[in-house]
Amino acid sequence: VSVAVTNDFEGFFAAAYPRLVRQLFAVVGEVGEAEDVVQEAFARAALRWQRIGAYDDPEGWVRRVALNRAHSNLRRSRRALAALVRVGPVAEVPTLSADALAVAAALRRLPLRHREVLVLYYVVGLSVEEAARQLGVPAGTVKSRLARGRAALARQLGEEEQELRHA
């Protein structure tokens, strides 16, 4: 049983890890941090895999733990993040394409709560209700964050594109 459980976890990890890193990257904006929070969430899942593996959506559990971890990191390094926002994208981002660069810059200006809702809805493809369950907030809250985040992102993407065209 133990070997089966172990193999099961390894298979789940191999399949879900790259996907979750991409999703968390879209939320936190830095691939190293995304890897850290996702790996930490998987480390927790590994210890409780017999229980978590039986869930309907173990990937959702790991994503939620990783998002919580991202929130904790943000609280801890709010000052550093504020500096990051002031100085602009980190050194890795310039290797992105112009469009990805514009999206990165626009996302960075949004609060983390808006970013995570946008990612769950647009990148992960969850419905409003599913995103609400995932985040443990009412559906109305998700709708409101989604509307505000979408509007801000569209506005900022417009500005970014104008700046890029001028540059």
With b for 16 or more beta-carbon neighbours within 10 A and e for fewer, the 51-66 pattern comes to ebeeeeebbbbbbbbb
Q: In whole angstroms, what is the distance from residue 151 CA to residue 154 CA?
A: 5
Compute the least distance from the CB of residue 17 to other proteins, in Å.
5
Q: Is 122 in the site for other proteins (CB under 8 A)?
A: yes
| CA distances from residue 123 to 5, 27, 139 in whole angstroms, order as listed | 30, 10, 18
81, 38 Cβ separation under 8 angstroms:
no
Q: Among 3, 55, 81, 103, which residue sits at the site for other proteins (rule: CB under 8 A)?
A: 103
Q: Is 17 in the site for other proteins (CB under 8 A)?
A: yes
Residue in this structure with the two tokens 């939620």, named with its chain if needed: 64
Compute the least distance from the CB of residue 166 to other proteins, in Å.
19
Q: Is 143 in the site for other proteins (CB under 8 A)?
A: no
Segment 19 to 58, residues that bind other proteins, using CB under 8 A: 21-26, 31-32, 34-35, 39-40, 42-44, 46-47
Among 140, 135, 88, which Cα is nearest to 115's? 135
Give residues in contact with other proteins (CB under 8 A).
6, 9-10, 13-14, 17-18, 21-26, 31-32, 34-35, 39-40, 42-44, 46-47, 92-93, 96-97, 99-100, 103-104, 107, 118-119, 122-123, 150, 153-154, 157-158
